[in-house]
Amino acid sequence: MTIRPGLRRCFLLALLPLMLLAACEQATTTASFHATEIRDASFGRELQLPDTEGRLRTLADFRGEVVAVYFGFLQCPDVCPTALSRAVAVKQLLGEDGKRFRVVFITVDPERDTPEVVRAYLDAFDPSFVGLVGSPEEVARTAKEFRVYYRKVPTGSSYTMDHTATTFVYNADGKLRLAVPHALSAEDFAADVRRLLAE
Amino acid sequence: MLTTKTRRSLGLALMFGAFTLPAWAQTVKVEDPWVQATVAGQKATAAFMKLTADAPVKLTGGKTPVAPVVEIHEMVMEGEVMKMRAIDGGLPLEAGKTMELKPGGYHVMLIDLPKAVEVGQRVPLTLIFTDTEGKEFTVEVEAPVRPLKRDHGKKSGHEM
């Protein structure tokens, strides 16, 4: 079969994205996580914030547990309840292993989200969820460490917060391992947690 | 198939209909309204529902005894960043097409709640619409309160 050189070039060009995709696939599917896998992260290495009872919490407190860290705020009527409801579903799907799955919620709106309200809010989902409420400076430092974006945006009489809706997941040794996108299903999330629990 | 005669009378009926239209109150059908529960101290929540208008109108606002401020908001994801914005000029509804206000999209935001909105409560909500001539009309609904923790179900796990 003879193909004109021009046509052949077209063919190769058309194939290029596929070849690139294949190369990427090789790099990331070795572990076959549904979420984005993170290795040797240069971010999210430290976490140090007071919880809703005023105790200073660090990642070391949760050794032996897979920890899911989510940044949000209580006035958020949409993605935050969605993310926390998904976390409840993940815990349920894990069954007995759910005891080794810890959810940590960090408010990006400490001006309005007092420790008492955050506690009551998380209790509406699962009383085992940990709420961290820092000073505005502490929150800013933590968000920077996680490369999380948040910003106050005025709306009419009040304000809302734009924020990163990714959930960060640590393995039982306290290593940051996954960035879970907001759109990932509870089933896929739970499957990933199961894999991490086996690490 | 329509005969010429019936088609003509249909045309006449439509013309007549068009003339009588202003006297005819526009309506918007509101289905499955619900309000998300809050805990004490939480200052805002959202109402969700399905809206079907019989003419092109805009949802421009609302009133409720449970909150002094009501705004129409849109949630958008830009990459992994969640953004929420008030919709300026109202949310347009096409005639006959159902618009669903649901998590992951549009909602009616209830702001500065003086006290918690609890499961079991029914929230009276006056929805304000504006027609193409700029005339306002309202539709009253009562929205039951649903728990903060949403049922993720077994299949997709995501209500979006």
* ipTM of the complex as predicted: 0.77
Q: Say if residue A20 is in the same domain as residue A87.
A: no
**Could you tell me the CATH number of the domain that includes residue A89?**
3.40.30.10
Per the CB < 8 A criterion, the answer to whether B49 and B141 are in contact is yes
Query: Smallest CA–CA separation between B55 and chain A, in Å?
Result: 28
CA Rg value for chain B? 19
Q: Say if residue A25 is in the same domain as residue A41.
A: no
Counting the structural domains of chain A, the total is 2
Per the CB < 8 A criterion, the answer to whether A65 and A172 are in contact is yes
Mean pLDDT, residues B122-141 taken together = 96
Provide the Cα torsion A52, A194, B156, A35; round to 10°. 80
Per the CB < 8 A criterion, the answer to whether B72 and B86 are in contact is yes
**Which amino acid would we find at residue A75?**
Q
Q: Is B64 on the interface with A (CB under 8 A)?
A: no
Inter-chain residue contact B84 with A165, CB threshold 8 Å: no
Q: Say if residue A87 is in the same domain as residue A3.
A: no
Residue B101 burial (C-beta neighbours within 10 Å; 0-12, 13-18, 19+): buried
Q: How confident is the model at residue B19 (pLDDT cuts 50, 70, 90)?
A: very low
Domain span holding position A3: 1-30
Q: Say if residue A83 is in the same domain as residue A169.
A: yes
Dihedral sign for Cα atoms in the order B127, B50, A77, A126: positive
Q: What is the pTM of this model?
A: 0.81
Q: Say if residue A89 is in the same domain as residue A71.
A: yes
Q: Which of 3.20.20.80, 2.60.40.1890, 1.10.1040.10, 3.40.980.10 is the CATH number of B25-146?
A: 2.60.40.1890
Q: Is A158 on the interface with B (CB under 8 A)?
A: yes
Q: Percent of chain B, pLDDT > 70?
A: 79
Going by C-beta distance under 8 Å and a sequence separation of 6 or more, which residues neighbour residue A138? A49, A50
Domain boundaries, chain B: 25-146
Q: Is B112 on the interface with A (CB under 8 A)?
A: yes
Per the CB < 8 A criterion, the answer to whether A93 and B118 are in contact is no
Structure confidence at residue A89 (pLDDT): 97
Structure confidence at residue A96 (pLDDT): 97
Among residues B43, B49, B34, the alpha carbon closest in space to that of B101 is found at B49
Mean pLDDT, residues A95-122 taken together = 97
Inter-chain residue contact A77 with B36, CB threshold 8 Å: yes
**Which amino acid would we find at residue B32?**
D
Among residues B123, B117, B116, the alpha carbon closest in space to that of B143 is found at B123
Of all residues in chain A, what percent are helix, strand and coil, respectively (each to 5)?
A: 40, 25, 35
Per the CB < 8 A criterion, the answer to whether A81 and B103 are in contact is yes
Structure confidence at residue A24 (pLDDT): 42
Mean pLDDT, residues A41-55 taken together = 96
Mean pLDDT, residues A85-105 taken together = 97
Q: Percent of chain B, pLDDT > 90?
A: 74
Disruptive mutation site among B49, B77, B106, B152 for chain A (greatest number of A CBs within 10 Å): B152
Q: Say if residue A22 is in the same domain as residue A53.
A: no
Q: Say if residue A173 is in the same domain as residue A129.
A: yes
Structure confidence at residue B156 (pLDDT): 37
Going by C-beta distance under 8 Å and a sequence separation of 6 or more, which residues neighbour residue A195? A31, A33
Distances (CA, A) of A20 to A25, B25, B31: 9, 59, 48
Disruptive mutation site among A36, A78, A153 for chain B (greatest number of B CBs within 10 Å): A78
Per the CB < 8 A criterion, the answer to whether A74 and A80 are in contact is yes
Among residues B78, B47, B82, B83, the alpha carbon closest in space to that of B64 is found at B47
CA gap A134, A131 in Å, rounded: 10
pLDDT, tens only, A10-37:
444 454 444 444 444 444 444 589 999 9
Q: Say if residue A71 is in the same domain as residue A1.
A: no
Q: Is B103 on the interface with A (CB under 8 A)?
A: yes
Q: Say if residue A55 is in the same domain as residue A8.
A: no
Q: How confident is the model at residue B160 (pLDDT cuts 50, 70, 90)?
A: very low
Q: Say if residue A88 is in the same domain as residue A139.
A: yes
Q: Is A69 on the interface with B (CB under 8 A)?
A: no
Query: Smallest CA–CA separation between A87 and chain B, in Å?
Result: 10
Select the residue of B83, B107, B158 nearest A77 (Cβ to Cβ).
B107
Disruptive mutation site among B85, B158, B159, B160 for chain A (greatest number of A CBs within 10 Å): B158
Inter-chain residue contact A165 with B82, CB threshold 8 Å: yes
Render the burial of A169-180: b for 16+ CB within 10 Å, e for the rest: bbbbebbbbbbb
